[in-house]
């Protein structure tokens, strides 16, 4: 009898010890649709379910504030009030202010005032048209972050000209990831992967202590990767013209409009992946660097300390900045890519 008791005691001790190794973390995951995209959240924590539902609520709250398409959003209020000042929550004004700063940093390559151009090309509705030069010349004077006036005292955002509009779609997912990462930290979550479409935040490490492995898609082949990043406490964001585009008269037009020319960015890049501790920076810069093209993008990287990048070029090169190269595993050889490391 005592032997049997001992065996049970041993079995109990065994299960307890095996459980200790994991810290009794539970896994909670959700797929949700918000901000005009699909998001996958995976959280490992003792309080995983609670953290997950809080994260989901937060995403819906931000979508409600920042959506371009929802008429009840703060962004829609700013756009409806174009030509005058509109009072908004501080959070919204701060994000617009960040977007203006990144616009200046990228010499206008990233610009939230590009919305009327995107509209003219039909990317909001899917009713694609190639606008003629006259149409573009009418819209271009409405584009430029220099036309946004912010009044921190009155908490207002003003689009100087009627007809202007802003779209935070190129920065909102990154901002949301920063907010979520902060939430996870506050809750003591040390292991989570937050994939807001192609905007992926690695919180801490995998439950076993290894870094998260985030692949960079091959722009020419959706089933292939050009490489795999091993990251923790970083956000990885990719922009490229290979997913959203239309064809007309035998020509392909993608959705990343150059705010200066009004036409899809004629870039020597097929995709740009930015890796940064700031999701907001990663998201906005991935678009900005794509529009800038390889040379200007590399020059900006050399002048910066807050991000690294993976560039895929039209001429089939994968160029990785040296600060992240040690965490990048090149897998693009089967896709015909050459591999290069850019030095400072």
Partner 1 sequence: MKSPAGSALRPTRWDVVLAAAILLAAAVTGYLLYGNTGKSESLTAVVTRNGEEIARIPLDELEEPMELSVEGEYTNIIRAERGRVCIIDSTCPGRDCVHQGWISRPGQHLICLPNHVTVTIEGSSSSGVDAVSG
| Residues that bind partner 1 in the complex, under the rule CB under 8 A | 2, 6, 10, 13-14, 17-18, 20-22, 25, 40, 193, 195, 198-200, 202, 206-210, 212-217, 219, 225, 228-230, 236-238, 240, 271, 273, 322, 325-326, 328-334, 336, 338-341, 343
CB 296 within 8 A of CB 338: no
Q: How far is the CB of 196 from partner 1 (least distance, A)?
A: 11
Q: Which residue has the tokens 């379910």?
A: 49
Comparing CB distances to partner 1, the nearer of 185 and 213 is 213
Pair of tokens at residue 324: 């992240």
Q: How far is the CB of 221 from partner 1 (least distance, A)?
A: 11
Smallest gap from Cβ 210 to partner 1, in A, equals: 6
Which is nearer to partner 1, 6 or 80 (by Cβ)?
Answer: 6
CB 85 within 8 A of CB 78: no
CB atoms under 10 Å from CB of 232, counted, come to: 16
Minimum separation from the CB atom of position 334 to partner 1 (A): 4
Residue nearer to partner 1 on the CB measure, 137 or 329? 329
- Nearest approach in angstroms of CB 327 to partner 1 is 9
- E strand or H helix that includes residue 317: strand 317-321
Q: No. of H helices and E strands in the chain?
A: 10, 17
State the residue for tokens 């490391």.
341
Query: At closest approach, how far in Å is the CB of 27 from partner 1?
Result: 11
Given the complex with partner 1, which of 25 and 260 has the nearer CB atom? 25
Which residue, 49 or 340, is less far from partner 1 as judged by CB? 340
Q: Residue 170, annotated ligand binder?
A: yes
Comparing CB distances to partner 1, the nearer of 159 and 236 is: 236
Which is closer to partner 1, CB of 144 or CB of 279? 279
Q: How far apart are CA 218 and CA 332, in angstroms?
A: 8
Assess contact for 283 and 237: CB atoms under 8 A.
yes
Residues 106, 108: Cα–Cα separation, whole Å: 5
Of residues 10 and 101, the one with the C-beta less far from partner 1: 10
Q: Give least dist CB 129 to partner 1, A.
A: 27
How far apart CA 72 and CA 75 sit, in angstroms, is: 8
129 a known binding residue?
A: no
Residues 6+ apart with CB under 8 A from 140: 117, 262
Strands 234-240 and 269-276: antiparallel
**Structure token digits, residue 64:** 């409600």
Provide φ and ψ at 249, rounded to 5°.
Answer: 55, 35
Other residues' Cβ atoms within 10 Å of the Cβ of residue 26: 13
Helix (H) / strand (E) containing 33: strand 26-34
The reply, when asked if residue 37 is annotated as ligand binding, is: no
* Entry field: residues in the chain: 344
First to last CA, the chain: 72
Shortest Cβ 47–partner 1 spacing (Å): 18
From the annotation, which residues make up the binding site?
170, 283, 287
From the annotation, which residues make up the binding site for Mg(2+)?
170, 283, 287
């Amino acid at each position: 009898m005592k032997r049997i008791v001992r065996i049970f005691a041993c079995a109990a001790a065994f299960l307890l010890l095996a459980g200790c190794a994991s810290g009794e973390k539970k896994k909670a995951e959700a797929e949700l649709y918000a901000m005009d995209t699909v998001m996958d959240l995976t959280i490992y924590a003792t309080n995983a379910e609670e953290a997950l539902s809080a994260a989901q609520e937060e995403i819906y709250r931000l979508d409600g504030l920042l959506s371009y398409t929802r008429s009840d959003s703060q962004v829609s209020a700013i756009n409806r009030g174009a030509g005058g000042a509109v009072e908004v929550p501080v959070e919204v004004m701060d994000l617009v202010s960040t977007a203006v700063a990144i616009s200046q940093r990228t010499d206008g390559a990233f610009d939230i005032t590009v919305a009327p151009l995107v509209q003219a090309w039909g990317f909001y509705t899917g009713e694609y048209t190639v606008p003629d030069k006259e149409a573009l010349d009418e819209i271009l004077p409405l584009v430029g972050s220099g036309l946004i006036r912010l009044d921190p005292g009155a908490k207002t955002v003003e689009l100087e000209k009627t007809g202007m509009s802003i779209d935070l779609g190129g920065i909102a997912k990154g901002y949301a990831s920063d907010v979520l990462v902060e939430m996870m930290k506050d809750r003591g979550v040390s292991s989570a992967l937050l994939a807001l479409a192609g905007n992926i935040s690695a919180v801490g490490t995998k439950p076993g202590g290894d870094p998260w492995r985030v692949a960079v898609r091959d722009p020419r082949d959706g089933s292939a990767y050009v490489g795999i990043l091993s990251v923790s406490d970083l956000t990885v964001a990719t922009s490229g013209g290979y997913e959203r585009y239309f064809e007309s008269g035998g020509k392909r037009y993608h959705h990343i409009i150059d705010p200066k020319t009004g036409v899809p960015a004629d870039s020597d890049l097929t995709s740009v992946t930015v890796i940064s501790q700031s999701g907001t920076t990663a998201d906005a810069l991935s678009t900005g660097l794509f529009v800038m093209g390889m040379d200007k993008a590399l020059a900006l990287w050399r002048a910066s300390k807050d991000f690294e990048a993976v560039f895929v070029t039209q001429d089939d090169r994968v160029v990785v900045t040296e600060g992240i190269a040690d965490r990048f595993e090149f897998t693009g050889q089967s896709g015909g890519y050459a591999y290069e490391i850019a030095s400072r």
